Chain A
Amino acid sequence: MRFGLSEEQTMLGDMLNKYLEAESSLDVIRESCDNTPHHNEKIWSGLLAQGAHTILIPEEYGGAGLSMLHSETVSEVLGKHIAPVSYLSNAVLSPLAITLAASDSQKELLLPGLASGDVSYGIGLTDAIVNRENTNLEITNGKVNGVSTFVIGGQTADKLILGKPGTLLLVDSNAEGVTIKPMITVDKTRDFAVVTLENAPCEVLGKEGSAAQAMQKLLNAGRISIAADTMGAADAMFNQALEYSKERFQFDRPIGSFQSIKHIFAEMVTELEPCRSLLWYAAHAFDEIEDEATLLACHSKAHIAEVAKTIGRATTELHGGMGFTDLLGLHFWFKRIEVNRQLLGGPEIQRHFAAVVQGWAPEAITAA
């Protein structure tokens, strides 16, 4: 019996961690934040070289055919370094959308491009979960009209996968009738776009209306990956504050010797460590235990978001005025956590879906 990461998965995380320690310094992050799009090609090309983007692509299509637990490991390290790359769209959601929903011929056509890293993808699922702007996608005769908001990685994408309840469709970014505009969030380490479609040519992945199950699984992958990213970012904030509280002196003492501060750290670690256990199990359930997958994915997204929110607040506060400055850069982590919290549905929505899968609530908000 062994609960947690395998040696191979640990090594994968360590390798990536070393790479990002060297390549994703605060200066690099600042630069990416100042550019639009924020996606950093140099860091991404290093990830491509290590094959991180192929983890979830089946071997027969040129991928590594590994597990969500592998990918979760990567997401956590990316969150720790708040790497400004579109891993979520290019390495998790798009390959899975195609693998789960597309026809065999579509897979043969599309997956090799993802595996080689030659074709980049953006993916929009937000409106399929909770539609706030009445942005329905209407498909008629191979043409699509409508709007898709918060398309992850949309600005740098060659192709877009857009979701509506029950259906996933594919659009070429350059096609006529497709307009892509950046949606600038408070987190400038990732790119989101709003895509407007006017009679744009599109292709449904698989058959129209048949992607409900695929969408459920896809959302689970998103929930786990975002939770992992948050886990990494919260862990980084925690460790940075812990270091600071050992170095910063006031009243002739390290501030970390004040009990009020020590107890905040004890509370934080008491919440945070079990989050990692939850995350590992959620990824494992995604890979191996279908019955539990949705419950665990929803709960990990919700619970880790809640824990990270308190950690974001406390660690910022523990740095005093320095915590509020741009100088320190801690705010980049804070903002990443805040956007992750809302992305693909906030904690209340996730808990609602967790209730739905247990038969505890009617399906009032659509998902898939």
Chain B
Amino acid sequence: MELTYGPEYDDFRAEVRNFCAVEGKRNKFGAMKMGEARPNQLAVDWQGKLIEAGYTARTIPKEYGGFGAKPDIIKSLIISEEFVKTGTRGGIQNQGISMLVPTLIEVGTEEQRQKYIKPTINGEMIWAQGYSEPGSGSDLASLKTKAVVDGDMFVINGQKIWTSSAQFADMCFILVRTEPDEAKHHGISYLLMSMDDPGIDVRPLVTMTGEAFFNEMFLTDVKTPVTSIVGKRGEGWRIANVTLKYERGMIGGSGGSSTGIRGLADMMHTETLSGVRAIDLPVYRDRLLKLQGRALANKYHGLRLLSNDINKTGTAVEGLIIKLSATYLAHDIYALAVDVMGEFGTLYDDSIYKRQKDWMKQYIGSFMGIIGGGTSQIQKNVISERGLGLPREPLVKYDQNGWDLLKK
């Protein structure tokens, strides 16, 4: 066990700490949630400062607008540690930055990289992810939205759903069927399309939190140049999986549960039931402690995964499990908060009774992590098949009307 990073990182840490003390203090404004709204000018300016200092977009090459540092997980870790410790706001996180940019770096053309990476990491170009369709969610590869080539353009027709940020996005990375005669996984292409096209009709869908941050997206004769394909025709499934890998990591990060436990414990020290603090009631306290045990296990598992990355150790299953465990844990933490607050935990308006945190909203919101980016059941399929080597379910086809099995 070697949990220090070595003296060669001391200077770097001091530099980051200094930045947070000087610049971080000067730039205090609330954190932005994924998909909430376009970053405002303040956020874009801050992003510019962070890139210049090398604290975000750190390893993205200079020619694409990044800082151009050599990958060093420990330095990235130090940055995030110091930012969290000092409450300094980190860089912008959105689907473009977290998912599309790494994909373009891995498999995009030089032209695509030149054109899209810089404005995306600057926070000026917002992307939507056009994967899911009404008939194709978990079974994404069954998607039907199609694109045909007409001259030097792809012409796209079909419908997408659950498309986060589409209401304000500039661009969309979208999966479409271009090779209808090929087997389902081999007929898909990965395209980049402008959201300005008049054939795109975006209709907001209100979620159970009461907000509308995802949408239906109807596509009628939408055009995008043939050069906007990432990878080759029919390779879209493979490219999409490059992107999904980054999504799973984005959702599964384990820092959240430690923060959740701390907030919950603080609340239980002030919330009283007939004069008794919730923390002093063993029935609630034991539930808190149970969750703390899980959160600690996840926290140190996060360190182990990091160490696996640095030292090239570990097995696949160790990484595959994190989204499943982190998202349910978050759900359970917020559920306890609501239980502790009782009827007051159900308040969805704070005009008369103020509470420290909007626990109910967090509780409901935790479904985003559980369902988005592949549901828990799909995670379990992946863990058991890819992680543990268990056999796939046999593929069968049902008749939609009579539940009879159809022969292939």
Residues of A in contact with B (beta carbons under 8 Å apart): 1-6, 69, 242, 245-246, 253-254, 256-259, 261-263, 265-267, 269-271, 273-278, 280-281, 284, 287-288, 296, 299, 302-303, 306, 348, 351-352, 354-355, 360-361
Contacts and interface: CB of A to CB of B under 8 A. Distances in A.
Given A257-B390, A266-B379, 9 more contacts: A2-B2, A3-B303, A5-B1, A245-B390, A257-B391, A257-B394, A274-B325, A354-B292, A360-B279
11 contacts: A1-B307, A3-B3, A3-B303, A4-B304, A262-B380, A270-B321, A277-B301, A280-B1, A280-B304, A281-B300, A287-B1
A270 to B, nearest CB: 4
Given A259-B381, A303-B294, A265 B390 contact: yes
B339 interface: no
Contact of B377 (A242, A253, A263, A352): A263
Given A1-B307, A259-B381, A266-B383, A360 B285 contact: yes
A258 B393 CA distance: 7
B304 A253 contact: no
A168 to B, nearest CB: 28
**Majority SS at the chain A contact face:** helix
Interface residues of B, number: 51
B185 to A, nearest CB: 20
A269 B306 contact: no
Nearest to B265: A360
B139 interface: no
B390 A274 contact: no
B377 A262 contact: no
Interface string B379-408: 111011101111111100000000000000
Contacts of A69: 1
Contacts of A258: 393
Nearest to B393: A259
Interface in B258-299: 265, 279-280, 282, 285-286, 288-290, 292-294, 296-298
Contacts, number: 151
Contact of A274 (B300, B385, B393): B300
Interface of B: 1-6, 74, 265, 279-280, 282, 285-286, 288-290, 292-294, 296-298, 300-301, 303-304, 306-307, 310-311, 313, 317-318, 321, 324-325, 377, 379-381, 383-385, 387-394
A254 B300 contact: no
A269 B388 contact: yes
B393 A257 contact: yes
Contact of A1 (B3, B380, B385): B3
Given A2-B307, A351-B293, A274 B1 contact: no
A255 to B, nearest CB: 10
A270 B325 contact: yes
A20 to B, nearest CB: 22
A355 B285 contact: yes
B296 A299 contact: yes
A271 B293 CA distance: 11
A284 B1 CA distance: 7
Contacts of A256: 390-391
Contact of B293 (A5, A261, A288, A303): A303
